[in-house]
């Protein structure tokens, strides 16, 4: 039996090599089928919700943010979503329109879709209008005539969601393997990195030039992408074009906001609708059905929608504020020259009880202060597993060794000033802005910048705390 099959196979193959070849190529092509889709994963805590609450959170997120391959361009978010957007300008007709742009993020290229955000075309169900070309006058020409002529002033988006789509492609290429599909810092290469990559889902970024209470500005994110974070595995992506960098930043903001919404929802629902809470409530005399009815009522027409909108609103406000000029740290005085006096004053500040830098960074600024060896508590009030300091994401962080001359947030004086003024967000590094004057902070900056070049001798210890300048004067007067 098998033998005859084999012989038939032999004759078939040798008789029709072309057919056999085609079959082989088909087999090869079949390998490419069954393409998987990237997926957003849910944060820790999601699993603890009762199944109905889980599906609510899942659907709410999917409705407003979509999936990685089908990103939803939600107008509510303060993100550059579209290739360009604006209002229809003078003399629109069915084949072309002029646009008064309110934002232009990417070049308008043939083949982009057009989406109407207001006016008669908003509701029309016809084919989307594809951009054919942009004429010399800057008018957008369409491939097919529009179903109706838009009115002047109708809002229009060209390439709707194009920035996010582009950002997502670039993110998948350059960032995803560390920062994760969901921005959760759980990408395949993340687990062995020290320090761990940033988890965007709390909306917190460490190195910013905004004041302590603010989120990161776009310029801060751009600087990190351009220069990397020295001393970590975040490399410099200096050679990305401006458009590429912009698209990545917008996508990172998108992931941050998505993560924050998820975080808020999971936290809010966790109070009453986690598996544990439900169990407690049932133990307390409620019925499962009652709880379910309550939840369904809240979601369907209850105050859940309102709560959701408020959550989103507060998140959006913070991101908008971060890019306002008021959020940016501007020193009240120019940096004084790094004279021995200034450095000595900075050293005194460094050692002062008030700022207590030594508690973490150590007297010799080696990053070995007593705090880095102490048992600390986590957010839940429990002892952390290993001694040392922890950040918001529960990762062990080491205070910077200032003698190495490596400054993760940048080495410009303003970068160090901003670090002192606004702190390092999400970490135990506190903000001194307002606590100390800008002049004092500059002295501290001058001291910190001088640390790598200090001449050290064996036995030098606390006596360095004396301002060096006095020695100099004594020598001079002698």
Site for other proteins in 369-428 (CB under 8 A): 398, 405, 411-414, 417-418
Residues 331/420, Cβ–Cβ less than 8 Å = no
The full DSSP string for 438-458 is: HHHHHHHHHHHHHGGG----T
Closest CB to other proteins among 149 and 221? 221
Which of 60, 94, 98, 169 binds other proteins (CB under 8 A)? It is: 169
The stretch near other proteins (CB under 8 A) out of 124-132, 170-178, 343-351, 428-436 is 170-178
The reply to whether 340 sits near other proteins by the rule CB under 8 A is no
Which of 116, 176, 105 is closest to 142 using CA atoms? 116
Rounded to 5°, angle at Cα 287 from 282 and 291: 90
Which of 55, 63, 69, 374 binds other proteins (CB under 8 A)? It is: 69
Q: CB of residue 78 vs other proteins: minimum separation in angstroms? A: 25
Which of 46, 49, 61, 68 binds other proteins (CB under 8 A)? It is: 68
The reply to whether 37 sits near other proteins by the rule CB under 8 A is yes
Q: CB of residue 270 vs other proteins: minimum separation in angstroms? A: 23
The reply to whether 21 sits near other proteins by the rule CB under 8 A is yes
Tell me, residue by residue from 438 to 457, as one string, x for binding to other proteins by CB under 8 A and - for no binding: ----x------xx-xx----
The stretch near other proteins (CB under 8 A) out of 25-33, 153-161, 248-256, 386-394 is 25-33
CA distance 203 to 321: 13
Which of 334, 377, 435, 466 binds other proteins (CB under 8 A)? It is: 334
Q: CB of residue 438 vs other proteins: minimum separation in angstroms? A: 9
The DSSP element (H or E) to which 268 belongs, if any, is helix 242-273
Closest CB to other proteins among 304 and 420? 420
Closest CB to other proteins among 134 and 175? 175
The reply to whether 475 sits near other proteins by the rule CB under 8 A is no
Residue 439 neighbours by CB distance under 10 Å = 16
Show Cβ contacts of residue 413 under 8 Å, excluding neighbours closer than 6 positions.
Answer: 335, 442, 445, 449
The reply to whether 3 sits near other proteins by the rule CB under 8 A is yes
Which runs of consecutive H residues, i.e. helices, occur in 131-241? Answer: 162-174, 176-179, 218-227
The reply to whether 434 sits near other proteins by the rule CB under 8 A is no
Which of 157, 179, 158 is closest to 168 using CA atoms? 179
The DSSP element (H or E) to which 255 belongs, if any, is helix 242-273
The stretch near other proteins (CB under 8 A) out of 265-273, 311-319, 325-333, 458-466 is 325-333
Cα 333 to chain centroid, rounded: 32
CA distance 478 to 476: 6
């Amino acid at each position: 039996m098998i033998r005859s099959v084999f012989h038939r196979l032999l004759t078939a193959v040798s008789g029709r090599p072309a057919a056999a070849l085609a079959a082989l190529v088909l087999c090869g092509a079949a390998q490419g089928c069954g393409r998987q889709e990237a997926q957003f994963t849910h944060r820790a805590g999601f699993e603890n919700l009762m199944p109905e609450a889980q599906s609510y959170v899942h659907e709410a997120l999917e409705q407003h943010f979509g999936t990685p391959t089908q990103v939803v361009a939600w107008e509510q978010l303060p993100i550059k979503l579209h290739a360009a957007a604006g209002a229809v300008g003078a003399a629109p007709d069915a084949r072309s329109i002029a646009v008064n742009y309110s934002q232009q993020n990417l070049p308008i290229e043939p083949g982009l879709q057009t989406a109407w955000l207001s006016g008669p075309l908003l509701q029309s169900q016809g084919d989307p209008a594809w951009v054919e070309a942009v004429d010399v006058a800057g008018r957008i020409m369409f491939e097919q005539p529009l179903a109706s002529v838009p009115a002047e002033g109708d809002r229009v988006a060209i390439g709707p969601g194009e920035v996010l789509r582009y950002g997502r492609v670039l993110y998948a290429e350059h960032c995803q393997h560390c920062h994760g599909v969901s921005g959760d810092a759980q990408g395949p290469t993340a687990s062995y990195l020290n320090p761990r990559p940033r988890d965007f889902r709390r909306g917190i970024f460490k190195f910013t030039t905004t004041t302590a209470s603010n989120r990161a500005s776009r310029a801060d994110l751009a600087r990190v992408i351009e220069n990397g974070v020295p001393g970590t595995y975040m490399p410099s992506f200096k050679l990305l074009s401006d458009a590429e960098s912009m698209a990545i930043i917008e996508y990172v903001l998108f992931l941050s906001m998505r993560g924050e919404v998820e975080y808020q929802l999971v936290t809010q629902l966790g109070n009453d609708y986690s598996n544990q809470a439900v169990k407690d409530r049932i133990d307390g005399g409620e019925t499962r059905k009652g709880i379910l009815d309550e939840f369904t009522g809240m979601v369907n027409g209850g105050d859940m929608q309102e709560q959701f909108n408020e959550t989103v609103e507060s998140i959006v406000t913070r991101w908008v504020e971060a890019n306002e000029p008021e959020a940016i740290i501007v020193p009240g005085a120019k940096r004084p020259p790094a004279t021995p006096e200034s450095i000595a004053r900075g050293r005194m500040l460094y050692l002062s009880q008030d700022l207590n830098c030594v508690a973490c960074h150590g007297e010799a600024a080696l990053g070995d202060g007593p705090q880095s060896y102490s048992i600390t508590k986590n957010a839940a009030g429990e002892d952390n597993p290993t001694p040392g300091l922890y950040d918001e994401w529960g990762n062990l962080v080491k205070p910077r060794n200032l003698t190495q001359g490596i400054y993760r947030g940048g080495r410009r004086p303003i970068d160090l000033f901003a670090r002192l003024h606004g702190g390092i967000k999400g970490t135990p590094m506190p903000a001194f802005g307002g606590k100390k004057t800008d002049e004092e902070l500059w002295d501290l900056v001058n001291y910190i910048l001088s640390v790598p070049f200090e001449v050290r001798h064996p036995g030098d210890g606390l006596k360095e705390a004396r301002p060096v300048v006095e020695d100099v004067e004594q020598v001079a007067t002698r």
